[in-house]
Each structure stands twice: as structure tokens, then as C-alpha cells.
Structure 1
Amino acid sequence: MASSPPCPTYPGAAPQPGLPPRSGGALRHAHWWQRPWVRYGAPAVLLALSGLVILALVREQTGTEGFLVGLGLAVLPVPLLMAAFRWLDRVEPGPWRNLLFSFAWGACAAALMAIVANSFATRWIARATADPAGADTLGATVIAPVVEETAKAAAVLLVFLFRRRDFTGILDGVVIAGVTATGFAFTENILYLGTAFGADQLTGDSGIASVTAATFFVRIVMSPFAHPLFTVFTGIGFGISALSPQRQRARRVLLPLAGLLLAMGMHALWNGSSTLGDYGFLAVYLAFMVPMFGMLTWLVVWTRQRELRTVRTELPAYAVAGWLLPAEPFALGSMRARRVARRYARRYGGKEVARAVAQYEAYATSLAFLRRRGRLGRAGTDFVERERELLLELWRRREAARPALDHAARTTAPPVPVAVPPWPVHGMPGAHGMHEVHGTHGVHGVQGTRGTHGPQGYGQPQPHPYPPYQPNPYRF
């Protein structure tokens, strides 16, 4: 077994991998509300009760048949939206439990709060003003955006406060906010589509001219992204706050509030467009909603590429210190190389090895983001402990991950143009010009690694050729 490499000597360097993690004895003296069964059990019970209540309320308003029709139609955009947000989260995948909590909060707790608060506020305004039509308009354009966006933002706030290690930047905020809004839109669409189906049953309408078809076209075909688009602004506010230094407390508080206010304004504009007639609705949709959707799509894709550049920039410091092989920063900074590594591991090592490679990629990405925050002076007080944990997790999975990452780096390395000399060379064709050599650029010097084909490396002792350690190569 090769000995562990020396640790970097910059402030906050991690201990050697041979040392055990710090004892968790402090948990034995934690308060009762900090116990895991309380932290996991209480939200689960709250969401389950909310789900039962919202199920009863929606079924009461739509009827059993309308509920089933609404459920079948409302579920159609959910897989597409969830896949899109999961794709954005692939650089540093968050735990599934965060996504499940966010979706359940949006579909159950936030939807319940919105239905109760909107109904109460609209009825109170109608009694106070004796104008039911005006109360409905005011409720849709003012009350609903405030109540609904606040209810959805609560999920983002809870993950930000209690899952802080999983909430490290803009993409995390976008994903949590988008998944929460997807759950909320799912329940709301059941209600609207089920109610429309009930109205068609009373009037006898069916086909394209029915209310159900019109509601389906507007909510599912034209604007399935509406609720996620609004709430994403709240997530961006929390994401920028997560990137801000801890000493800038005013900024860390004001940015999420600014994002929430922007989400409310977008929501109010969208709801208000329905009162402007068909042309007003189309004008807002084409001139505002579609460009905003395109701009946000570009922003999150650009942010995703920026995170990959961060991985390629920050991880070489750990390769210099001997924690990573020289080829790994390139492979970990490319989504294509990551996919190749996981496929290679699954083919020759099985599902468990592929899972270990995926975990290795996620921990390495978290390590790169942590180092970047430390280098910019934005790391928290737990920087040393967190770096130690991430390095230990990487060290435990190195035997499974390194053959696959080495293969991925060699397979996906860009071609290197090589100039052919104009004079004849023994054994070389006489053609002149430039030729491309594939496969080894960027990984030259990695000794003891496996070839690009075959299952070599898995289940065999692996040499660990670390470069000479240079004391204090990087400072924060």
C-alpha cells in the first residue's frame, strides 16, 4: 500500500489521510431538536400531513373524476423539468433528499399555504369592498404572487440554512428553487385542469373547443416553465448570497430579498396579463416571458461551464501536492470525460465501482469549490475540517476511480497538431504538413496507469506515482 502524500502547508491544510476523522462525540451532547430523527422526521411528518390536506382540498374542488384527469395531464411536464434541473446539477450533484424535499414542499406545503391564504384574502377583500370581481383580480395580481413566491422561497431558505454544505453557489439555488416551483406547479395544474374538466362536464363541451383543452394548452404546452422561471430569481439571490463573504452580512440578507421581490414582480406581471385580453397575454408572453426564459437559460448554462473551469483551475494544486494524479483535473473538469469514466467503470468494475467513481467526481468538485472560496477569502470557519473530510473521501475511493479517470483523460484529450519536417525521415511517409496525434496530450508523465482498453487496474494493486512535493505551492 502506498503511503499517503504530504499535505499542502498553506493555512488550513488538511491532515494526512491515514488519520481518522474527528470524533463525533459532540453529537451525543446535542439538544433533542438536533438529533437526526428529529431533523428528518419532523419535516417528513409535516409534508405528509400537508399532502393529505391538499389532496382532500383539491379533490373536493374538482371531484374524483376531475382530480384523476387533472393528475394525468399535470404530470406530463414534470419529468422534463426535473431532468433539466438535474442536468444543471450534474457538475456538483446534490443529494437526492434535497430534491425530494424541495419537490414535496412545493407540491404539498407551499400549495396548501397558497390555497388557504389566497382564498382567505380574496374573500376578505370581496366582503370589505363588496366587489367580488375586483377582489378576484386583486387576488390574482397582488395577493397570489406575494403568497405563492413566499411559500416557495421557504423551501430554498430551509435548504440554505440547514443544508449549507450542499448550497454553495448559483446553480444550487437555481436547482432547489426550480424543483420547488415544479412541485408547486404540479399541484396547481391538477386543480386548474380538474376544475376545467368539471366545467366541461356541466356544459357538455369536448375536444379542442373545451375549457380543458384551452387550459392544457396555456399551462402545459405554452408555459410549463412559468413557476420555475419566477422562483429561480429567488434561488439566484440565495446562490449569490452563498458566494458572498461572511463579513458582508447586509449583502447576504438583501440579495435573497431582492431575488424574492423580483420573483413576485414577474409573477404579478404574468398573472396581470390575463386581464389584458388575448392580445395582452400574447404580448407579455412573447415580449417578456420568452426573452427572460432565454436569458436565464443562457445564464445557468454559462454558470455551469464556469464551474467546470473552476474545477480545472483549482484541482491542480492538489495534484502538485500528490493527492491527485496529474490527469485527474482535466478529466474532472470535463462532463464528457466524467461520463466516459463512469461508463468504463461500470463496464469493467460493475455498478459499485461506477458509483464510487461518481462519488469521487462529486467530492473532487466540492473540493475545488471549497478551495476557490478559501482563496478568495470567502471560506467559513469550518474550512479546515471540510477540506479534511473531502480529501479523506477521495483517498478512500482512489483505487476505484483512478483507472477510470485515467482512461477518460486519455480518450477525451484534444488532438495535438504535430509538424512534419520537410526533409525525408527514415520510416516516415513523405507527406508534408500537419498531423494530429490523439490520446496522450495532457497526461504525459502519469506512470503506472492502465491503457485505454480493457479492464486493467480493477482489483489489482495500483502504483501511485506522485510528483515531487513542493512545500507551500499555493497560498490563500
Structure 2
Amino acid sequence: MDPVPTGGARARARLAAAVSTAVLTVLLGLCGAVILGLVHQQTGSDGFLVGLGLAVLPVPLLLAAFRWLDRAAPTPRRHLLFAFGWGACAATLVAITVNGFVTEWLASSLLPRAPDRADALGTTLVAPVVEETAKAGAVLLLYLHRPRDFGGVVHGVVTGGVAATGFAFTENVLYLGRAFGDDLAFGHFGLESSTLGTFFQRAVMAPLAHPLFTVLVGMGFGAAALVARRRRALRTALPLLGLAAAVTLHAVWNGAASRTMWVFLAVYGLFMVPVLGLVVWAVVRARRRVLLTVRATLPQYAAAGWLAAPEPSALACPRTRALAREVARRWYGRRAARAVAEYQRAAVCLALLRARAERGAPPPGFLVHERDLLRTLWHRRPLASPATTTAARSVPRAARR
């Protein structure tokens, strides 16, 4: 049985968490400052501003999609901020530095007489490995250091997708800024504009490209989190398989983009779109499975007296959860709504934690974490339980499935 931490141990743990958060924030800030300088150097001031303005357009839509997915089992907001910052700052800095170094080495050492071939190899073979490994760093760090909050495939997909959205944002600033600089240099405007073509390709036709690749990595880590801890080989193999799939898909995409327009459109329509549809289908099924797990697991806590009888099915429905927060806000204000949100997140985490333990895959400190979540339920229950029960009565049972 896990030891119960003393007050001093809890204080030391909170201090260590605060120090690590501060250090990580400073490091990401430094990476952001460096990548900002590199992008500005390659685009110029005008190109940077135009690229920034255009690159930000698809970001809210992508984040909204991942937040919808995340509603099934909410990820702590600080983890999402870390993932986006990692992708936008650290991963892009690693990618620009390593891709440039390896491509120059190929051109100078292995292919001195064929620089175009060196660029093609760098784009098709080197960049997918470097970029997907760099983006996967955010998922890996949360998987290793925040295993309690990494409850399965949905958490992996959301983390990977948000990290890739940050990466794509910074990369789009660079590409769109360069394109605008070329347009200014050669006097291209209107339909002949490189900026328009780049924006159409990256933000209209393929805004999900980078998220799609890294979602595969997140699925691998999320599946590994659900595997029994004694099956170490499988827990190691699943993230590696996800990374291999992401690198392969990325290489196919880059290879098609470097060919003729007809080749690119054929690969886009006959391969990438079906793969995207298959991944979306799998992710939506995983989201539904999370809600079914919550509905099936929480009744045992209700039987023990931690929840009221109507609450398990209500907490397994995002629509009912949202209504409960709205009820609390109308009754007692925004602080009450936040308290209900904490109650809901604790209940969902409790259900997923118990389900993982029953599968033989409990995270480290399972019993301590379970007690912490039960303590949160107990403290928030006087306010949150009536709001949740009221919401459950307002939403028909059939609508909660």
C-alpha cells in the first residue's frame, strides 16, 4: 500500500513542482525568444508580421477541436499550455537547427555535386524523423512525469495534437513570411502571389497535417498507459509504433508536396484524406469509450456514498456537466461554477484511474492519488452535488447516452 504523505512531504512536493514549473517556463521562454529571432531573421519585419497574422487564423479552430475532444476527460490547462509552448518554441527550434545542420552536411559531405538531391533527402527523410521526434517530446514528458493525468488514448491525442498545433503555427509564420518576402522582391500580387498559394496549401488544404502526424504518437502513448505494467515490452513498443507511423505519414506528405501538383493532389485525395478519416473515427470512438468507462465505473463510488445516485450517468455526459456548471453559476456565481468543474474533473479522473487499476495498469502512487481525488469530491460536494443532480433531472436519460 502506498504510504500516506505527511504535511512536510506534501509541502516539499509542492515546492518541487513549483520550482520545476518555473524552470520549464524559463526554458520555454528562452526557446521562444531564440526561435522568434531566427524566424524574424529569415522573414524580415514585414514578412514576420504578415506571416504571424495569417498563421494564427487556423489555430483557434484546431484548438477548439481538441478542446471538444478533451471535454470527455479534461486535461489540466497547464498541461495544454505546456504542450502548445513546447510545440511552438522548443520543437520548432530543434527542428530548424537539426534539419539545417543535417541538410548542410548532406550537401557538403555526401552529395557535394547534387545539392538539390540533398535538399530533397532532407525534406523527405530527415525532416519527418526530426520534427516528429521533437513534437513527441511534449507527449513523452507528460507521460513520464504526469502519469496520473495521462489516462489513455484521448489524453495522448489531445496532448499531441495541441503540441503539433503550436509547431504548425510557428512553422507557418516562417513559410508565410518567406513567401511574402518573395512576393515583395518579385512584384507578385493577386492570384500569382506566393503568399496566397502558401496560405491555401498550409492553412486551407492541410491545417490538420502536423496534428494528424503527432496524434498518432499520442495514440501510441495513450494506448501504452492502459497496458498492464508487467507488460513492459508492449508499453515500450506502442509509443515507438506511433512514432514510426507519424514519421512514415509525414515522409509521404513531404514527398508528395515536393512533386508535381497532380501527384500531390492524388496522394492528398487517395491516401491522406482516407487516413485522416480513419484516425478521426478511431479518436471519436476512444472519446466515447472514455464516457462509457466513466458511466460504468462511478456507480461503485456512488454505492460507497461518495456520489449521489443520479450523478454517475450525469458525470458521463459532457452536456449535463456543462449544464451543472451553468446551474451553479446562476445560483452562486463564477467561483461556484469553477468548484463544480473541479468536482467533475476529479470524478472523471477517479473513474479512469480506477479503470486503469482494474486493468492492471495503475499509475505510480495510485492509492494516494485516489485519496486526493476523493478528498476533492468531499470538499466540493455540498455545492457540486445539488447542481449535478439538478442538471441530471433536466437532461433526459436518453440524451445522456
Residues 374 and 39 (structure 1 numbering): CA distance in 2 closer, same or farther, change over 3 Å? same
Contact 1:176 1:235 in 2 (8 A): yes
Cα-to-partner distance string for 1:437-460 (whole Å, 9 max, x where unaligned): xx9x9xxxxxxxxxxxxxxxxxxx
**1-structure distance, mates of 2:269, 2:75:** 34
Residues 356 and 28 (structure 1 numbering): CA distance in 2 closer, same or farther, change over 3 Å? closer
Say which SS state the counterpart of residue 378 (structure 1) adopts: coil
Cα-to-partner distance string for 1:38-67 (whole Å, 9 max, x where unaligned): 311221111111111111111111100000
**2-structure distance, mates of 1:114, 1:53:** 13
Aligned length: 398
**1-structure distance, mates of 2:370, 2:106:** 55
Matched, 1:255 2:238: yes
Aligned to 1:444: none
- Which of 216, 220, 224 in structure 1 is aligned with 2:203? 220
Could you list the runs of 5+ residues in structure 2 that have no partner in the other structure? none
- Normalized per residue, the structure richer in helix is 2
Q: Which amino acid aligns with 1:223?
A: A
The CA RMSD measured in Å over matched residues stands at: 2.0
**2-structure distance, mates of 1:29, 1:310:** 34
Contact 1:181 1:231 in 2 (8 A): yes
Q: Which amino acid aligns with 1:280?
A: V
Contact 1:91 1:362 in 2 (8 A): no
- Which of 20, 24, 36 in structure 1 is aligned with 2:17? 36
Matched, 1:116 2:88: no
Aligned to 1:322: 305
Aligned to 2:76: 95
Aligned to 1:80: 61
Matched, 1:70 2:51: yes
Residues 28 and 401 (structure 1 numbering): CA distance in 2 closer, same or farther, change over 3 Å? closer
What is the Cα deviation at residue 184 of structure 1?
0.5
Aligned to 1:4: none
Q: Return the TM-score normalized by structure 2.
A: 0.95
Matched, 1:194 2:177: yes
**2-structure distance, mates of 1:146, 1:381:** 31
Residues 354 and 245 (structure 1 numbering): CA distance in 2 closer, same or farther, change over 3 Å? same
Matched, 1:384 2:384: no
Cα-to-partner distance string for 1:292-335 (whole Å, 9 max, x where unaligned): 11111111111111111111111111111111111111111112
**1-structure distance, mates of 2:86, 2:363:** 28
What is the Cα deviation at residue 29 of structure 1?
7.0
Aligned to 2:294: 311
Matched, 1:409 2:370: no
What is the Cα deviation at residue 27 of structure 1?
5.6
Cα-to-partner distance string for 1:382-423 (whole Å, 9 max, x where unaligned): 2222221111110101111111111111111337xxxxxxxx
Contact 2:297 2:355 in 1 (8 A): yes
Cα-to-partner distance string for 1:94-127 (whole Å, 9 max, x where unaligned): 1111111111111111101111111111111111
What is the Cα deviation at residue 22 of structure 1?
4.1
Say which SS state the counterpart of residue 397 (structure 2) adopts: coil
**1-structure distance, mates of 2:250, 2:7:** 45
What is the Cα deviation at residue 359 of structure 1?
1.0
**1-structure distance, mates of 2:12, 2:265:** 60
What is the Cα deviation at residue 134 of structure 1?
0.5
Q: Which amino acid aligns with 1:404?
A: A
Contact 1:331 1:408 in 2 (8 A): yes
Matched, 1:47 2:31: no
Contact 1:99 1:176 in 2 (8 A): yes
**2-structure distance, mates of 1:340, 1:44:** 35
Contact 1:342 1:354 in 2 (8 A): yes
**2-structure distance, mates of 1:204, 1:190:** 21
- Which of 322, 327, 336 in structure 2 is aligned with 1:339? 322
Contact 2:148 2:369 in 1 (8 A): no
What is the Cα deviation at residue 276 of structure 1?
2.6
**1-structure distance, mates of 2:323, 2:11:** 43
Aligned to 1:279: 262
**2-structure distance, mates of 1:143, 1:381:** 36
Q: Which amino acid aligns with 2:204?
A: V
What is the Cα deviation at residue 234 of structure 1?
0.6
Query: Where do residues 73-472 of structure 1 align in structure 2 (5 Å cutoff)?
Result: 73-128=54-109, 129-130=111-112, 131-380=114-363, 382-414=365-397
Contact 2:160 2:218 in 1 (8 A): yes
Residues 260 and 24 (structure 1 numbering): CA distance in 2 closer, same or farther, change over 3 Å? farther
**2-structure distance, mates of 1:352, 1:339:** 15
Say which SS state the counterpart of residue 93 (structure 1) adopts: coil
Could you list the runs of 5+ residues in structure 1 that have no partner in the other structure? 1-11, 15-20, 416-438, 442-476
**2-structure distance, mates of 1:409, 1:169:** 26
Cα-to-partner distance string for 1:167-198 (whole Å, 9 max, x where unaligned): 11001100110011001100110110000001
Q: Which amino acid aligns with 2:242?
A: G
Larger radius of gyration: 1
**2-structure distance, mates of 1:34, 1:155:** 22
Say which SS state the counterpart of residue 313 (structure 1) adopts: helix
Residues 36 and 373 (structure 1 numbering): CA distance in 2 closer, same or farther, change over 3 Å? closer
**1-structure distance, mates of 2:47, 2:366:** 53
What is the Cα deviation at residue 141 of structure 1?
0.1
Residues 27 and 312 (structure 1 numbering): CA distance in 2 closer, same or farther, change over 3 Å? closer
